[in-house]
Amino acid sequence: MTENIVQRIRNNVEIEPVKLALEVESQSLSYFELWEKSSKIAEILRSFSIYKKNIGILAYRSVTTYTGILGSLISGNTYLPFNPKFPVERIVKMIRSADARTFVVGKEFIHLLFQLENEIKEEILFLAPEIKREDIPSIKSKIKCLEDFENIKSNARINEINSEDIAYLIFTSGTTGEPKGIPISHKNLISFIDQNQKNYPLTVNDRCSQAFPTTFDCSVQDIFATWNAGACLVCVTESELFAPARFINEKCLTVWYSVPSVAMFMKRMNILKENIFPTLRYSIFCGEALNEHIAVSWQKAAPGSLVINLYGPAENTIAITNYTWKNVVNNSPGGIVPLGKVHPTHHYLIVDDELNKVGINEIGELLISGPQVSSGYLGDNTLTSKKFIKLKNSGNSIWYKTGDLVKEDGNGDLHFLGRIDHQVKIRGYRVELEEVEKVVREASGRAFAVALSYPFQSPVAESIVVVLEQGNYNSANIISFCKKTLPDYMIPKDIVSIPFIPLNNNGKIDKNKIISMLKENHVN
């Protein structure tokens, strides 16, 4: 068996069993207790001969979320996280795409079991380790609940895990309207964890935030970088997530990790006062562009902390570059903090449209090759061959085409300059505008729907606005339809109309012209 993250966690259980591993809701679990609960989930999976399968984690910010994740991995399975805020239709699409039949269930999802069972129409096994039988609704599927788990003995066993086995499966927005699955192997994961630990070492004394939803791949860093180091993972409650200043201080966090939007909200609400976060030693931001002025404000609020910008597509396992803020506004392109340098374990190229390498300070698409690069998209060979390519004179190396336009400066730092396609990020989540357009076309019955990021032409998108040609439609009905299909960050903030949809000389929709038309009509 090759070294993997599960073995690392087991080692920490052996070394410091009573050390705190997890604080969630009002509960605290030591490494021993975390393993004990997770091991029981693994034992039940083994009793059903479930191995190398996708295990759905129908739990959110609860003990079951984390024990379900670890239990899936201990038993040699893959975990597939879900978010109770996602529409059922989207959850079902993800389940079907992953062919998942086994689910670890927390109380956060219990109201959905009946509906999911009806939608999936396959034989399902539910494991509900923290829920009493009397609290489970009447369903046809097999279910193991709290009473069953009390009779299971935990143990130290770990099923065989090979480096190419898939550790987790994460879904992102897809241009076709179907969410696309990205499988990340144990080799991908351990490569990231090791490099991250070299860049920004954690110790057993650290108390690390768990702010990202588990459906966001940065949560994988929260969980496994923390447990790899024998540190304590502190789950941020949903209500505190909005402006977590009080939480950071009350919980004495030493590591904060979130999308930059959280810092931006706190700055705007005048919460980022000088030295408000004396305990922080790392403040890590990822998922979207980090504005230099936000970095300055955060650095003042956490003067003892390194402010770190990470960048990476989910296909490259969480983050592939890192930059430590030097507290100097360099007026970088767009006022955005540099992405920094690519992990030394990887190769990168910045190329033009014909895959020719461009020079220093020239703009091109970033290509990445190395051990963090995923094997491709789940069940989509066409898209995989388009995005994961081989290059001439590069042997059998697979290069991932990020779709991100960057330039490299004289210091070897990369700078983000935009996208080559219509993908935008809303609060760190990837959104393919075509997916939103497809749903609005269905809802409105219109031939054309144009989704734009808002504010228009800003390097940082806040929301989505959809433009339709004037005519009879009901905005409320369209938005209601979107809510049944799309997660909240993809739902248009507004539906606006213009007299006609302009086309450019190539017959394509002219988005620049549309934006001009909107501005003329004072839709800013």
Partner 1 sequence: MLINDELKQFVIDKIVKKSTLQGIKLDKIEDNFSLTGSGLFDSMDFLNLINEVEASFKLTVDFSEAAPEEFTTLRGFVMNCK
Q: Classify the C-alpha dihedral 296-297-303-308 as positive or negative.
A: negative
* Cβ nearer to partner 1, comparing 7 with 475: 475
User: Which window, 72-80, 123-131, 289-297, 469-477, contacts partner 1 (CB under 8 A)?
Assistant: 469-477
The type of residue at 279 is T
Asked if 390 interacts with partner 1 (CB under 8 A), we say: no
Phi then psi for residue 167, to 5 deg, are -85, -45
Asked if 297 interacts with partner 1 (CB under 8 A), we say: no
* Cβ nearer to partner 1, comparing 230 with 244: 244
The type of residue at 515 is I
Asked if 484 interacts with partner 1 (CB under 8 A), we say: no
Asked if 503 interacts with partner 1 (CB under 8 A), we say: no
**Tokens 């099923």, residue?**
159
Asked if 456 interacts with partner 1 (CB under 8 A), we say: no
* Cβ nearer to partner 1, comparing 181 with 287: 287
User: Which window, 285-293, 326-334, 475-483, 496-504, contacts partner 1 (CB under 8 A)?
Assistant: 475-483
Q: How far is the CB of 87 from partner 1 (least distance, A)?
A: 12
Q: Classify the C-alpha dihedral 256-262-263-266 as positive or negative.
A: negative
Binder among 328, 392, 476, 522 for partner 1 (CB under 8 A): 476
Residues 222-251 that bind partner 1 (CB under 8 A): 239-240, 242-246
Strand 321-324 with 255-258, pairing? unpaired
CA angle 72, 15, 304 (to 5 degrees): 90
* Cβ nearer to partner 1, comparing 198 with 246: 246
With b for 16 or more beta-carbon neighbours within 10 A and e for fewer, the 466-503 pattern comes to: bbbbeeebeeeebbebbeebbbebbbbeebbebeebee
Asked if 360 interacts with partner 1 (CB under 8 A), we say: no
Residue 504 CB neighbour total at 10 angstroms: 11
Binder among 475, 497, 502, 513 for partner 1 (CB under 8 A): 475
* Cβ nearer to partner 1, comparing 60 with 348: 60
Q: What is the DSSP string of 323-351?
A: EE--S-----GGGBPP-BEEPTTSEEEEE
- ω into residue 455 within 30 of 0, thus cis? yes
Asked if 462 interacts with partner 1 (CB under 8 A), we say: yes
Q: Classify the C-alpha dihedral 266-269-271-274 as positive or negative.
A: positive
Q: How far is the CB of 115 from partner 1 (least distance, A)?
A: 19
Q: How far is the CB of 91 from partner 1 (least distance, A)?
A: 17
Q: How far is the CB of 396 from partner 1 (least distance, A)?
A: 44
Binder among 138, 151, 270, 472 for partner 1 (CB under 8 A): 270
Q: How far is the CB of 427 from partner 1 (least distance, A)?
A: 7
Q: How far is the CB of 445 from partner 1 (least distance, A)?
A: 17
CA distances to 242, 467, 520 from 464, rounded to whole Å, are 20, 10, 19
Question: DSSP 3-state assignment of 425?
Answer: strand
- How many chain residues are in contact with partner 1, going by CB under 8 A? 29
Asked if 480 interacts with partner 1 (CB under 8 A), we say: yes
From the number of C-beta atoms within 10 Å of its C-beta (0-12, 13-18, 19+), residue 138 rates as: exposed
Q: How far is the CB of 237 from partner 1 (least distance, A)?
A: 9
Comparing CA positions, the residue from 107, 36, 24 lying closest to residue 70 is 36
User: Which window, 10-18, 193-201, 261-269, 341-349, contacts partner 1 (CB under 8 A)?
Assistant: 261-269
Q: How far is the CB of 482 from partner 1 (least distance, A)?
A: 10
Binder among 261, 283, 316, 321 for partner 1 (CB under 8 A): 261
State which H helix or E strand residue 518 sits in. Answer: helix 511-520
* Cβ nearer to partner 1, comparing 49 with 239: 239
Residues that bind partner 1 (CB under 8 A): 239-240, 242-246, 261, 264-265, 268-271, 273, 276, 427, 462-463, 475-477, 479-480, 483, 488-489, 493-494
